[in-house]
Amino acid sequence: MVGREFGNGVRAAVERTGLTQRRLAELLGWQEAKISDLLAGKGGVTESEVRELLAYCRTPLGEREELLTLFHDSGNVYLHVPDDGVPDQVRTLINQEQEADEITCWSMILVPGLLQIREYIEAVTAKARTVSPENRAATVAARAARAEILEYSRAFTFYVHEQALWLPVGGSEVWREQLAHLLRLSVRKYISIRIVPRSIGMHAGVSGDFRLMRFPKYPPVVYVESVKCCLFFDDKDTVETYENILKDLAAVALDEEQSRAVINSILEGLP
């Protein structure tokens, strides 16, 4: 995943030159395939070659150093710590979600972010100590915009613990509208919402929330968020571990129709 972000950054630097990949390769004395692999985040170049390319593209120093940091981190776990509590980690997640064609989420405490209404997001963000008041509006807007990817060309599966539905976020009206929103979304053919009931007790998802994103051209990526940072994993062993957790959750979760019944029963019982 870091390699891909590095490749995207280099591609932007190359595109600003107005040169084709072939012409740039000729000027550098490289094979065109090396440029293609570099832009795809596949590596195959040395640090000195990366520096040579970025210098030829007249990439600004700050951007150059950031890309070199990504180059060194390629193949490792990606730890992203935002400076202001808002946009960087949100933007990074949004970029990954926009490229994915299949997203599977597990949420134990809150309604999954992609399914949250704006008022719910505002209530959650207001309680987040990592978001300063001056950055709150930008954070809410960025998180709310994520829902734009909920369209038929992708597939979404959401495993949600029943206790997340019982958490009264933002007061009765917001709580009620959020549950109604889940019901509206649940009838879309490309969205599957499955509730993990409280009655099953201990389950495989107790280690925390995460999402698994699959891409047309890249390996799957697992995203895990904590208070001050977010982690992206694309190594085979870690992805397989989270895939197995999802299999275990699928085995105990209610089906779509049963899940709608649970959501509706909670909604009908609200004051």
pLDDT of residue 227: 66
Write out the two tokens for 1. Answer: 């995943």
pLDDT of residue 145: 86
User: Is the domain of 55 the same as that of 83?
Assistant: no
User: Is the domain of 48 the same as that of 110?
Assistant: no
Mean pLDDT within 42-65: 78
pLDDT of residue 83: 45
DSSP 151: S
User: Is the domain of 48 the same as that of 181?
Assistant: no
More confident call, 198 vs 132: 198
User: Is the domain of 69 the same as that of 84?
Assistant: no
pLDDT of residue 239: 93
**pLDDT bracket for residue 88 (50, 70, 90):** low
Is residue 77 pLDDT above 70, yes or no? no
What pLDDT, in 10s, does the model give residues 222-271? 998 876 667 888 888 999 999 999 999 999 999 999 999 999 999 999 87
Is residue 170 pLDDT above 60, yes or no? yes
User: Is the domain of 106 the same as that of 146?
Assistant: yes
Least confident of 17-26, 180-189, 215-224: 17-26
User: Is the domain of 251 the same as that of 118?
Assistant: yes
Task: Report the CATH number that the domain containing residue 12 is assigned in CATH.
Answer: 1.10.260.40
More confident call, 30 vs 186: 186
Distance CA 257, CA 192 (A): 10
Mean pLDDT within 69-91: 53
User: Is the domain of 147 the same as that of 124?
Assistant: yes
**pLDDT bracket for residue 44 (50, 70, 90):** low
User: Is the domain of 59 the same as that of 141?
Assistant: no
User: Is the domain of 109 the same as that of 60?
Assistant: no
Distance CA 50, CA 63 (A): 13
Tell me which residue range forms the domain holding 238. Answer: 78-269
Q: What Å distances lie between residue 143 and 85, 116, 189, CA to CA?
A: 13, 9, 23
3-state percent breakdown (helix, strand, coil) of the chain, nearest 5: 55, 15, 30
User: Is the domain of 87 the same as that of 69?
Assistant: no
Please compute, for residue 72, the number of CA atoms within 13 A of its CA located in the half-sphere on the CB side: 7
Taking residue 136's Cβ as centre, other Cβ atoms within 10 Å add up to 16
Domain boundary (73, 92, 114) is at 73
User: Is the domain of 153 the same as that of 197?
Assistant: yes
More confident call, 152 vs 81: 152
Q: What Å distances lie between residue 156 and 66, 186, 190, 216, 262, CA to CA?
A: 33, 10, 6, 15, 20
User: Is the domain of 131 the same as that of 64?
Assistant: no
Task: Report the CATH number that the domain containing residue 137 is assigned in CATH.
Answer: 3.30.870
**pLDDT bracket for residue 4 (50, 70, 90):** low
Task: Provide the domain count of the chain.
Answer: 2
Tracing tokens 């109604």 back to the chain, one arrives at 180
β-bridge pairing 78-80 and 210-214: unpaired
Taking residue 176's Cβ as centre, other Cβ atoms within 10 Å add up to 16
Domain boundary (73, 101, 123) is at 73
Write out the two tokens for 193. Answer: 């919402």
Task: Spell out where 40-168 has E strands.
Answer: 78-80, 102-107, 155-161
More confident call, 100 vs 75: 100
Domain boundary (57, 73, 89) is at 73
β-bridge pairing 230-233 and 221-225: antiparallel
- % of the chain with per-residue pLDDT over 70: 88
Least confident of 68-72, 123-127, 191-195, 254-258: 68-72
Mean pLDDT within 144-158: 92
Is residue 101 within 8 Å of residue 49, measured between CB atoms? no
